[in-house]
Structures are given as C-alpha cells and as structure tokens.
Amino acid sequence: MMNISRRTFLAGSASLSGLAVSGCVSSTSDPEFYIPSQDPAYLSMYGAMPEERFPLPAINLKKVPDQYYRQQVDYSTSERVGTLVVDTSNYYLYLVQENGKAMRYGVGLGRAGFEWSGRARIARKSAWPKWTPPDEMIEREPELEKWSWRNGGMPPGLENPLGARALYIFQGNQDTLYRLHGTAEYWTIGSAVSSGCVRLMNQDIIDLHGRVPVGTPIVVL
C-alpha cells in the first residue's frame, strides 16, 4: 500500500477542492465571478411588483449598466441631510443621508436644449399620476394635443410617461414643469433622452417617493 504523508494528502485535497470551486461554482464574494445583474439582492430590488395599482413587471437588469442600480454610497457634500442632488454630468440622483452617506439612483435626463438646473423644492407627490404635456411641448409635437389639460390629460398606467410616481419641482410657488418621475423605458437610464425631466426606473421612483416628504429641497447641478 502506498504511504502518503498527511501534508501531501492535505495539499492534494486543497488543490482538488480549489479546482472544484473554480470550475463549477461561482461565488458572489469573488469579484472574478460576480455579476451584478444576477445578484439576488438586485433581482429582488428590481423584481415584479404585482401589488401596484398597475402591476409592474420585473426590470431586465442586463439592459441597465450596473453603476445605475440603486445603492448606498459614500458621498461628501455641504448639502444638508434630506436634500436631493441631481448630478447631470454622471446621471445620478443622490438623497443625502447622515454620516457622509447617500442613497444613489441612476437617472435619465433631458436632451440638449431642454435641460434645467438650479435650486428648488418638491412641492407635490403623486402615485400613478396623470400626464399633461405643457403647451410648449404641444407646439413642438401637435399630436400630443389629445393629452392636453384641455382634454383631461393622459390617464395613469404603464404607458404614461410619468410612470408609477412623480415628484413635482417648484421654485417658490412657481411650477418649473420639471418632474422626478418613473419610466417603463428603463434601458434609457444613464442617457439624455427625455424632454427635460429626471426619470428613474419605476422601482426606484417608488422607493424615492416613500423616502422624501413634500418640501424636500432639490439641487440640479
């Protein structure tokens, strides 16, 4: 019978174990194998929401760059806790939290020529809002007249451009006509596509809607 030393046996076992792990099982703790779009936490975060008034389907995370997934991050800012900050250069929205942290969301922004920036506040919140395009938009796109305020606006639903929630941005008592809102076109997050408003994935705007009260200050950089 072959005499195998304990040291040789353990070394061989470790080697075989390493091959088994690396060849057959991926570990989310190993950056080499970690795929954010397959992370159970993100899959749950962006899963279907059948309890909503208009049931939301799950988001295909493979179509969204993972840096735009909702996450808590380190964030150094002079803005006070509770402030919303829209970083238009990087397509992020931050909700400033305590201890140098922030909840970060990926956003889509207005096309060139439609951007807005400044300080304002969230004056109103709405779940499954109607959408009424402003007259200036109707002038550019006359086919939207059917959804004007004169005709009652577009009813809420999965096809509504404001999505599952909307937060209305005012300066003083003046409606800026810009919104933080949801979108079913989640693949547009991280790009400039909408007509001026800040769009989030529907699951993200629902989360944000639940975190911020009316009166929340917002800064669009």
| Interval 137-171: pLDDT, tens | 889 889 999 999 899 999 999 999 999 999 999 99
Domain boundaries, position 126: 49-220
Task: Note whether 55 and 28 are same-domain residues.
Answer: no
Q: Which of 54-63, 158-167, 171-180, 190-199 has the lowest mean pLDDT?
A: 190-199
CB 77 within 8 A of CB 65: no
Looking at the structure, tell me whether residues 61 and 158 fall in a common domain: yes
- What is the predicted pLDDT for the residue at 134? 83
Query: Tens digit of pLDDT for each residue in 1-52?
Result: 444 443 333 333 333 333 333 333 333 456 678 999 999 999 999 999 999 9
Return the pLDDT at 10.
37
Give the predicted TM-score (pTM) of the model: 0.83
Paired strand residues for 122: 169
For residues 112 and 156, state if they share a domain: yes
pLDDT band of 136, cuts 50, 70, 90: confident
Phi, psi of 126 (to 5 degrees): -145, 135
Measure the CA dihedral 130/135/140/144, to 10°: 40
Give the SS3 label for residue 206: helix
Task: Check whether residue 19 and residue 91 sit in a common domain.
Answer: no
Q: Residue 116's domain is classified under what CATH number?
A: 2.40.440.10
- C-beta atoms surrounding 172 within 10 Å: 9
- Say yes or no: 97 and 73 in one domain: yes
Look at residue 39 and tell me if it is in a domain.
no
Tally of structural domains, the chain? 2
Residue 44 lies in a domain: no
- Tokens 């911020």 — which residue? 212
pLDDT of residue 11: 39
